[in-house]
Chain A
Amino acid sequence: MQASEASTDVIIVGAGPVGLFAVFELGLAKLKAHVVDILDKPGGQCAELYPEKPIYDIPGLPFCTGQELTDRLLEQIRPFEPVFHFGEMVEALTRTVDGKWRLTTDTGRVLIAPVVVIAAGGGSFVPKRPPIPGIEAYEGKSVFYAVRRIDAFRGRRIVIAGGGDSALDWTVNLAPMAGQLTLVHRRPEFRAAPDTVRKMRELEEQGLVRFELGQPAELKGSDGKLDAVVIKRTDGSTFDIESDTLLPFFGLTMKLGPIANFGLNLNENLIPVDTAKFETSTQAVFAIGDINSYSGKLKLILSGFHEAALMAQAAHRYVHPDKTLRFQYTTSSSELQRLLKVA
């Protein structure tokens, strides 16, 4: 992939509600931001875990869903034109020779800025790994948690495990080109779009998909080369499916990930900060939202919003050490209203 490099005022890691609101507070201080997130969409947990679930404790919004909150924040920060990098995982954070931060992502992207804000919540969302002994040895050779190139699976004898949209979508998309495809799920009901379930049933009738009730329990093979997946039925009995490829789709879970290697102080997977600037023990690296810790911390979205506001004041001093940030209200300041593109 073509390496891409960009410079900005602030790099925000995490596009959850707190990362998004940080764009707003930084924007009022005339600071530009790039936002990196491993998910392919904004919203973090609000979008990934509970887009349809109610939230009742956002000040001034008696009720909204996770997706509505995300949509409203995106609308609120639009005037500040943040640059998003979705579907990218941060890899490393290092100092440049002139004292700025250099953040790299797994696509080879390089971002340079004087300030970094970690708003990574519970960490990055990664696929759940089935607790099958020795599965790590097969990963990347026979076991895959995502499909990048459909063509790589042509002619393969595939087992897809799971009952959600990913499992069903890939069953339907891979069946026509697979050597053999078996969908394995613990029950006959699916948590997927009805239309996709119907297509899967059609493919099953055509003999292109085999459906088995059960859960993968064991892998047979050697040197990462899969020979068979052992399936456990509800009654505890097992059977083998001869196969060279397993695609487990059980959703996502959160892991701290590469942030653990940024050289920041960590306390039980959280980043300690002060409560005046929400800065970490590393200068010009801030941590806001669920990922930080301080005495009395409450993991509430509204706490993260407050933290973002104070962080922005301190970030401004790093980006413009020669300028004083005048404290103003959006209600009365024509300068802020111009920034918000309402005046």
Chain B
Amino acid sequence: MFVTVHMPDGATHRLEALEGWRVMEVIRDWGLPIKAECGGACACATCHVWVGEEWLAKLVPPTAEELEMLDGAFQVDERSRLCCQIIMSKELDGLVVELAPESLADAPPERLAVGG
């Protein structure tokens, strides 16, 4: 299954994803510069993405905790999610997200995976 990520600089990446992985982990482990400071604990709001309109209904709705953490993000709208809280599943194969500028890391993390 795949996730398509639009980066703030306009680049688009189609990333292979594994079922059960957090979208944040997929983006990070392919070596793209995502801040994700708290490492997926829903505690920092630095993995903010805008989800493609057509995918919103397929997502598990955000918890109260995620909505609270989104208060620490910018340009939040109804498509806003913290992508550490989106778990990949068959229904989400093809998911499209756009990374919010404030969640872009200064430098890419160490590359953990290789591939196209």
Tell whether B75 is near chain A: CB-to-CB under 8 Å. Answer: yes
With A234-B77, A268-B107 known as contacts, the answer to whether A253 contacts B71 (CB < 8 A) is no
Of B43, B44, B71, B75, which is within 8 A of A162 by CB?
Answer: B71
Q: Which of these binds chain A: B9-17, B18-26, B34-42, B50-58?
A: B34-42
A36 and B76 alpha carbons, distance in the complex (Å)? 35
A105 and B47 alpha carbons, distance in the complex (Å)? 31
With A49-B43, A269-B107 known as contacts, the answer to whether A128 contacts B72 (CB < 8 A) is yes
Tell me which residues across on chain B come within 8 A of A251, comparing CB atoms.
44-45, 72
A235 and B38 alpha carbons, distance in the complex (Å)? 31
With A251-B45, A253-B46 known as contacts, the answer to whether A185 contacts B71 (CB < 8 A) is yes
Tell whether A31 is near chain B: CB-to-CB under 8 Å. Answer: no
- The reply to whether B43 and A268 contact each other, CB–CB distance below 8 Å, is no
A187 and B101 alpha carbons, distance in the complex (Å)? 21
A234 and B79 alpha carbons, distance in the complex (Å)? 11
Contact count band on A: 20 to 34
Tell me which residues across on chain B come within 8 A of A270, comparing CB atoms.
110
- The reply to whether A131 and B38 contact each other, CB–CB distance below 8 Å, is no
Tell whether B91 is near chain A: CB-to-CB under 8 Å. Answer: no
- The reply to whether A186 and B76 contact each other, CB–CB distance below 8 Å, is yes
- The reply to whether A130 and B74 contact each other, CB–CB distance below 8 Å, is yes
Bitwise, B65-101 to A at CB < 8 A (1) or not (0) is: 0011001111111100000000000000000000001
Sampled A-B contacts (21; CB under 8 Å) = A49-B41, A49-B43, A50-B43, A122-B37, A128-B72, A131-B101, A162-B71, A164-B71, A186-B71, A187-B67, A191-B68, A191-B71, A234-B78, A250-B71, A250-B72, A250-B73, A250-B74, A253-B44, A253-B102, A269-B106, A270-B110
Chain B interface residues toward A at CB < 8 A: 35, 37-38, 41, 43-46, 67-68, 71-78, 101-102, 106-110
Closest 4 CB pairs of A and B: A251-B72, A268-B107, A191-B68, A163-B71
Chain A interface residues toward B at CB < 8 A: 45, 49-50, 53, 122, 128, 130-131, 162-164, 185-187, 189, 191, 215, 217, 234, 250-251, 253-256, 268-270, 293, 297
Q: A49-B43, A234-B78 are in contact. List 5 more A-B contacts (CB 8 A).
A: A49-B44, A130-B74, A217-B75, A250-B73, A253-B37
